[in-house]
Structure 1
Amino acid sequence: MYVVLQPAPALTWRTIGGILDFYVFLGPDPASVIGQYVEVIGNPSMPIYWALGYHLCRWGYNTSNSTWEVVKRLRNYGIPQDVQWNDIDYMDRFLDFTLDPTKFATLPDLVKDLHAHDQRYVMILDPGISSVQPEGAYWPYDEGLRRDVFIKDAEGKPLIGKVWPGLTAYPDFSDDVTHDWWFDNLQRFHEKVPFDGLWIDMNEPSNFLDGSTDGCPSNSLENPPYTPGILGGLLRAKTLCASAQQKQSIHYNMHSLYGLMEAKASASALKRILAKRPFGMYSGHWLGDNRSQWKDLYTSIAGILTFNLLGIPLVGADICGFSEEPQEELCVRWTQLGAFYPFARNHNAIVMKPQDPTAFGPLARKAMKEALLLRYSLFPILYTLFHHAHVHGHTVARPLMFEFPKDVRTYGIDKQFLWGRSLLVTPVLDPGVDYVDGYFPEGLWYDYYTGDSLLSAGEDLRLQAPLDKINLHLREGSISPTQAPNLTLWVSSGQPLHLVSALSDDGSASGDLFWDDGESIDAYENDLYSYIVFDVAQNAMTSRVLHSNVEATYITVETASFYGVKQKPGRVLVNSQDATFTYRDNQVLTVGDLGLNLSRNFTISWM
């Protein structure tokens, strides 16, 4: 299928066949359209908490010890990291479910060390299973043949293509038998390397050949009367024959579902092996092999927003770019932007210079560290946004037009975005500048860091943006819960809360917090969570616990800041008791040393 956007405005659909079901979602506003859409496809799942931390990967660590050294360097510099990944170099001759016996012999010890530091491990896995190992030497293929799990060619024999390990067969994930075989392989490998998540790649499905080693039949399926503008000009280019046979149908009808079906099999297996949440309903998503160029930094924003519209909020681009040599300034700016990708992973290609934060000079390293610590401090906001995505079908990273649909200036904005309805991100996307121009819709906005107010009539404003800063602004009427950051989310998520209230002109604001144990499957559905709503009105903040579970009782509220308090108070009361406070000339009131239990209602008032 090929869809062309016409200037009329109109969409032209060209398709070579298939069953077409059309849904029309009437809104009336953009956010409602997405909510209605995810009602059809299913709401996103709540991700496991560590999926929202900082992930580090590269193709070409070459050994488990060199991988381990990078992890240790990040720890030594106090740079947060939740997850370490490995690409295909961990495998023995690129064979799935194997470990290179010499270069990656210490991988199990590395994983044990990660777990001891509250960190996690993810490895890549490709669907192509080597078909040329000696009989009895490679269980995944031998057992796959025995259980008849592989996609067949038009003659009923296993279709053979070519991927990293050489000639390969392709599992048919439309067959439940294949899911059981996939689980058995993963469980066997997990006993050697206790991984925490899977990175499933090459599942278009990818093929270094066109179709198979035997080509493809000459028929109307393989050579339709009209071919969309696709790579190679053939349906079989760098993938399988359209006429290949799967359990549920021919590959022609299943091709675009292959990755989804592998994700279903993988998520199901992980739940059985780990008894914890996978990355998403079936998976999250990264935007593919980008380049270390400023243009790719800029276009990543559109990619992140698009997948949020598609009901896949756990999405990110390769921070600092995958291919080509990373420049220090670009990597700093990309880490700042990447700190606001819902899924934040730095990933690098083979033979390229290292681009993890420790690979650069002191100033760049410090700027990247601060950006990542900032992300970790905002974890309560991000986690609550994923809760609303799961329960209500909301977006997490959001275009400005979603919140300001009547402001036509917001329609074309692709250089800024929002987290939820209230946190405006304005990243630097150009080299050699210490400022950034951003659009502020009509209303009152506050600098996240200082509380300085900015009243906009709906205008472009130039913001100072030295190399160590990404501009963040809070929308009036919002309350944002934050935490003191630490090296992993497991540690930082236990820290006391700091509540930041960005008051409207009438002195009102509202916000909320969702909290659970971060990993139990169906925690919300099983009532294993806490949910607290915060409101400010008439010089008083109230906290209401709408749902209480033991998981949130260990967290306290330590400080509260109120941006936009127009007059210095004479007294501040916390649960009717006098409290110490500070008031700055920029109309910021801060109350500290609160020690309030989050699981109990409280009131902070001033007069």
Structure 2
Amino acid sequence: MAAFTERMGCLFLAWLALCLALAQAVDRSNFKTCDQSAFCKRQRAVQPGQSPYRALLDTLQLTDSRLSLQLINDINKVHLLLELYGLQGNMTRIKINELKPLKPRYEVPDVLISDPPTRPLSMVSRDENGAVLALGPPGQRVIVSARPFRLDVMEGPQLLLSVNSRGLLVFEHLRERKDTLSHKISSTVGSMWDKMKSIFSSDTSKDALAGEGAEGADVPAKEGAEKDGEQEKDKDDEQPGMWEETFKTHTDSKPNGPTSISLDFSFPGVENVYGIPEHADNLKLKTTDGGDPYRLYNLDVFQYELYNPMALYGAVPVMLAHSPQRTMGIFWLNAAETWVDISSNTAGKTVFGQMLDYVQGASETPQTDVRWISESGIIDVFLLLGPRPADVFTQYASLTGTQALPPLFSLAYHQCRWNYNDQDDVRAVDAGFDEHDIPYDVIWLDIEHADGKRYFTWDPNKFPTPRDMLQGLEDKRRKMVAIVDPHIKVDTNYKIHNEIRSKNFYVKTKDGNDYEGWCWPGSAGYPDFTKPEMRAWWASMFSYDQYEGSMANLYTWNDMNEPSVFNGPEVTMHKDALHGPWEHRDLHNLYGLYVQMATTEGLVQRSGGVERPFVLTRAFFAGSQRFGAVWTGDNAAEWDHLKISLPMCLSLGLVGISFCGADVGGFFKSPSTELLVRWYQAGAYQPFIRAHAHLDTPRREPWLFGSENTALIREALRQRYALLPYWYTLFYSTHLSGHPVMRPLWVEYPDDATTFSMDDQYLLGRDMLVHPVTEEGSRSVTAYLPGKGEVWYDVHTFQKHKGAQNLYIPVTMSSIPVFQRGGSIIPRKDRVRRSSSCMTNDPYTLYVALSPQNTAEGELFVDDGHTFKYQTDSQYIHRKFIFANQSLTSQNADPKGQFSTPAWLERVVILGAQKPSAVTLHAADGSQSPLEFDFDAHTAVLTLRKPAVNVGADWTIVLR
């Protein structure tokens, strides 16, 4: 019987894989719209301007850094507790919960890196209508309005943002179901009590019996209002989907009833909002009036559609609001299904209409209104008050952490497909890169490498000696990544399953049994990664004695961790599944983060805490940046999917996740040769570069498309490898600061409105501008070079261009439009070898691009590239390069650094230079020596040859 069941499972999975391969687009009917999500539909039906909530000012309490205040819903008489905290770094935290819930409501753990340090609050004024508090920074204050409840954050005379100004605060309180026995008993007792009140009533006793609030303060004490409230509760409980909800064939029981929450925020003067990934949409978020809100609910959506607000694999509930005057952010700390509505008073206006407003002297200030709706939990929101983009990045990083510093090899090229067949196939592909002189660092294995999709194992026929295979890669200084998914085959002959079951670590059904669903292995259990003890056990499975056949150069890929459940509602886990006392609905968007967290810890532990891990994840949440890389999921070999990879990664970078990339060539379908080449060229300038393809697509290793195209792909990858010192320095910078590696132009040019909607080009750091060719058959592109008074240099031709212009660029198939900002210094390694590890001690070249003022500066970070010794033992070099007054100086940017390297400086290339009469190197020991140089008058490029100084030394080069 077991064998028959397994065969049937295999047939089902084969059928499913065929369906996925043949599908031309996502079946949207598998995924809910807002109207099909009961809580979203209920919440969205609430109209602005009719808020029943008011603040009970007599309950206001103020400590050094915390304001607490009760709110009451005048319709149902439910009391809420508002807490407002002033936080260091120009942030404010707002929490709203039930004052006395029937049971605790879920509050998101493990995302904040610590309790945020607070700053003082002080009362400025107070009367019967509200209160004014000083937040800390000069002139910054919050106004609390009582009826209806509202918060306004001011700075001097300027209103920065408002909370509940549209009256869309809704907090569905926990309650007992009306048709339960307890309700029947309470109804009987209530009826008896009403009769007793009618017999013994007096004016005084009526008031005493009906009064609510803090000793009855500020609450209408009338039986009519109380009965109205009860009638409203009865009406509420009759709405569909509150206690049970069916979607397609799945019924979601809701033992806690309706628990959704909502709150609105208004940004006066703001027309541009960004963030809330993951969506396959433009960088600048659209208004959602008349359509669905943006949805945040981690889902396995194969071959997703573009330019719509459907949920995808990850969810980061962070939004940035930007205007030329200020940048701010909202971090909505809630892991339940969430919908985000965006409206604007300027949306839909034509350019003519806006001009007409100007001519007629219309005084309406642009405003963007945002409403957050979550199914459960509490309201816990951080206001990141900027004022600059860099400040918002720092503020958010102080809460959830920065991007982990990746090992250097992971910034190089990765080769993957579903699936490399066996060890001979791996060996042949590896040799193919050497034969065609194409650099690569990592080869990947998908689900077919394991024994019957039993993760932590190897197929004994296809991969009988995995250590030999890994050693062969190690001999060439290359790595491997193997997939380890969180669905565990239910098989009593499988050690991993038996241990998880024996330790009671599986997620449970609503009835308390182990939750099972269908995924790649067939019937599968889902470990409860929310349990610390489960994560610790999972981490221990990566030790070399547990993960048989593994070695130090084997790293990990977590896929399907939304979690994906093929036969579950919306291809994911049932919301009424249980994680200890909590329903899955409360924490769904956290599951993928916990999987990656546990895997990352496993790779760290196996080396005794010495080696940095590399873990790629598909599902993610706020804070996932601490654990590794993400990719944009199951895209398709289409030009529009190439284009969308830019805004998708830009959006992730804005919310802390810098290590992002898209499957080069597209996962589904087969790319044309032109598309494949263009994708390699674009991918070479994105933070994570991995080629990947579906099982049923033809092979597409880089040398299979003719020698001419092989040469184009080789050149794109060589450009990537040459820039690895710059990439690594950028990642070190973002690891310290939280600033994105790949960033929109408006981040560096916040007052240039031309850049606000731009997502077909971007900056790497602040010094390199990239405009990939993403249109089929392109003969030209137009790139916008920002910065009035600045200059930009084409990195291929060294031609200089003025900033603040649209530049027409003719392109051929070899073109990758990239520009270096005048005033910058970028380190490179121009000797490209077969892998990044082979280049460790190779010499550097500095590219110095002079500003109109003949100045430039840049940085270089160097360590061993793979351990934590840069943290534990200060084993690193951090240099700062400055060009000024015709001198180039290398100085120590961080005296704590103690690392040494034999790598030296091979060349200095100065762009926009004049020919000197002599060039002299001044070494740290006081010695001087002349340097040879070449000057190209046509390009104004000065090349200094073989300074031959150690890259970690102090020195100065003087031009005369």
The answer on 1:246 being equivalent to 2:579 is yes
Q: Output the amino acid matched with 1:306.
A: S
Give the equivalent residue in structure 2 for 1:185.
Answer: 541
Shift, 1:46, TM fit: 0.8
After superposition, give the CA deviation of every residue in 1:221-276 in whole Å (9 maximum; x if it has no partner).
Answer: xxxxxxxxxxxxxxx42222212111362211121100001111101110011331
Match of 1:369 in 2: 714
> Is 1:536 equivalent to 2:889 in the alignment?
no
Tell me the distance in 2 between the aligned counterparts of 1:248 and 1:281: 27
Instruction: Write the distance in 2 (CA, Å) between the matches of 1:165 and 1:503.
Output: 58
CA contact 2:470–2:554 (8 Å) conserved in 1 = no
Q: Which of 77, 80, 83 in structure 1 is aligned with 2:442? A: 83
Q: Which residue is equivalent to 1:221?
A: none
Give 1:285-300 correspondences, 5 Å limit: 285-300=630-645
Shift of 1:605: 1.2
1:199 alignment partner in structure 2 = 557
Decide whether aligned partners of structure 1 residues 43 and 208 sit closer, same or farther in structure 2, where only a CA change above 3 A counts: same
More relative contact order, 1 or 2 (CA 8 Å, 6+ apart): 1
Q: Does 1:596 align with 2:596?
A: no
User: Are the equivalent residues in 2 in contact too, given 1:548–1:599 (CA < 8 A)?
Assistant: no
CA contact (8 A) 2:847 2:910 kept: yes
Contact persistence 1:60–1:351 (CA under 8 A) = no
Secondary structure of the structure 2 residue equivalent to 1:523 = helix
Within 5 Å, give how 1:364-443 maps onto structure 2: 364-441=709-786, 442=788, 443=790
Query: Post-superposition shift, 1:550?
Result: 5.6
What is the CA distance between 1:44 and its match in structure 2?
1.6
Following the alignment from structure 1 to structure 2, what is the Cα–Cα distance between the partners of residues 196 and 107?
A: 10
Q: Which has more radius of gyration?
A: 2
Are the aligned partners of 2:879 and 2:892 in contact in 1 as well (CA < 8 Å)?
yes
For 2:407 and 2:548, the matched residues in 1 are separated by: 22
Structure 2: segments with no counterpart, 5+ residues? 1-337, 346-367, 615-624, 923-927
Q: Are 2:874 and 2:898, in contact at CA under 8 Å, matched by a contact in 1?
A: no
Contact 1:64 1:90 in 2 (8 A): no
Task: Give the Å deviation of 1:43.
Answer: 1.4
Q: Who is 1:587 aligned against? A: 940
Q: What is the rounded CA distance, in whole Å, between the counterparts of 2:897 and 2:868 in structure 1?
A: 16
Partners of 1:527 and 1:165 in 2: how far apart?
45
Deviation track 1:486-513 (CA, whole Å, cap 9, x = no partner) reads 2111122321110011111111000111
The Cα of 1:593 is off from its aligned counterpart by 1.7
781, 795, 804: which is aligned to 1:448? 795
1: CA distance, partners of 2:781 / 2:465: 46
The letter of the residue matching 2:777 is: G
User: With structure 2 as the length reference, what TM-score do the two structures score?
Assistant: 0.59
Choose 40-49 or 95-104, whichever is displaced more.
95-104
Aligned residues: 577
Asked if 2 retains the 8 angstrom alpha-carbon contact of 1:175 and 1:248, the reply is no
Please list the CA deviations of residues 3-33 of structure 1 after superposition, one character each: whole Å capped at 9, or x if unmatched: 1222433223233332121111122122221
1:570 aligned residue: 917
Other-structure match for 2:390 = 31
CA offset at residue 436 of structure 1? 1.6
**For residue 944 of structure 2, what is the amino acid of its counterpart?**
V
Going from structure 1 to structure 2, the CA distance change for 1:412 and 1:525 (only over 3 Å counts) comes to farther
Matches for 1:309-324 after TM superposition, within 5 Å: 309-324=654-669
Contact preservation (8 Å) 1:376, 1:492: no
Amino acid paired to 2:525: A
Task: Note closer, same or farther for the CA distance 1:301–1:542 as it changes in structure 2 (3 Å cut).
Answer: same
The CA deviation at 1:106 is 4.4
Correspondent of 2:652 among 304, 307, 326: 307
Aligned match of 1:151 = 507
Do structure 1's residue 526 and structure 2's residue 873 form an aligned pair?
yes
**Matches of 2:869 and 2:582, distance apart in 1:** 32
Question: 1:147 touches 1:177 (CA, 8 Å); kept in 2?
Answer: no
- Residues 423 and 463, structure 2, Cα contact 8 Å, conserved in 1: yes
Identify which of 558, 575, 594 aligns with 2:906.
558
Q: 2:872 & 2:342 partners in 1: Cα distance?
A: 41
Note the alpha carbon deviations across 1:454-504, whole angstroms, 9 max, x for none: 113x12111132112211111011001111222111122321110011111
Corresponding letter in the other structure for 2:477: D
The question of whether the paired residues in 2 share the 8 Å contact of 1:439 and 1:461 is answered with yes
2:850 to 469, 483, 503: 503
Q: Distance in 2 between matches of 1:278 and 1:310?
A: 22
Q: 2:816 aligns with which of 470, 482, 487?
A: 470
Asked if 2 retains the 8 angstrom alpha-carbon contact of 1:65 and 1:106, the reply is no
Aligned to 2:30: none
Partners of 2:818 and 2:391 lie apart in 1 by 26
Corresponding residue for residue 119 of structure 1: 478
Question: Percent identity at matched positions?
Answer: 33
Counterpart in 2 of 1:259? Answer: 592
Contact 1:424 1:474 (8 Å CA) reproduced: yes
Give 1:436's aligned amino acid: V
- In the aligned structure 2, how far is the partner of 1:497 from the partner of 1:591? 12
Instruction: Check the 8 A contact 2:457/2:548 in 1, yes or no.
Output: no
In the alignment, is the contact (CA less than 8 A) between 1:531 and 1:548 conserved in 2? no
User: Which stretch of the first structure deviates more once superposed, 79-88 or 91-100?
Assistant: 91-100
Deviation string 1:434-462 (CA, Å, 9 cap, x unpaired) is 32211111321111123221113x12111
Cα deviation 1:128-160 (Å, max 9, x = unaligned): 1111x2x3x111111111111111111211011
Cα distance in 1 between the residues matched to 2:487 and 2:715: 40
State TM-score, norm by structure 1. 0.92
Q: Distance in 1 between matches of 2:504 and 2:632?
A: 33
Once the two structures are TM-superposed, the CA of residue 392 in structure 1 deviates from its matched residue by: 1.3
Deviation at 1:64, TM superposition (A): 2.6
Report the alpha carbon displacement of residue 553 of structure 1 after superposing the two structures with TM.
3.0
Tell whether the 8 Å contact from 1:322 to 1:348 is kept in structure 2 after alignment.
yes
User: Residue 459 of structure 1: which of 795, 805, 819 is its match?
Assistant: 805
Q: After TM superposition, give the deviation of residue 59 of structure 1 in Å.
A: 0.4
Q: Give the letter aligned to residue 606 of structure 1.
A: L
- 2: CA distance between counterparts of 1:352 and 1:553? 44
- 1:5 aligned counterpart, secondary structure: strand
Residue 364 (structure 1) shift:
0.9
